[in-house]
Amino acid sequence: MKDKIHPQYFPKAKVKCSCGNAFSVGSTKPEINVEICSKCHPFYSGKEKLIDTAGRVERFKKRLEKTTKKRK
């Protein structure tokens, strides 16, 4: 292996999430900022965020009805 080509390794790099959670991991960067972590992600936290798709579904059904009426 070649000498002096590998980046510096930080065994206790701090990871900070936008939710306020902080933990440490091994990385080549001393500090990492993330938007979503396992504490605030809906899959891991069990809290689902419901996105309002009712408007989209209703608009699709209206368009479908219009096309079926035109075909008849």
The amino acid sitting at 29 is K
**Which two tokens mark 53?**
């798709």
In the block, which residue shows the tokens 């608009």?
59
Binding region: 17, 19, 37, 40
Binding region for Zn(2+): 17, 19, 37, 40
Q: 14 with 24: CB under 8 angstroms?
A: yes
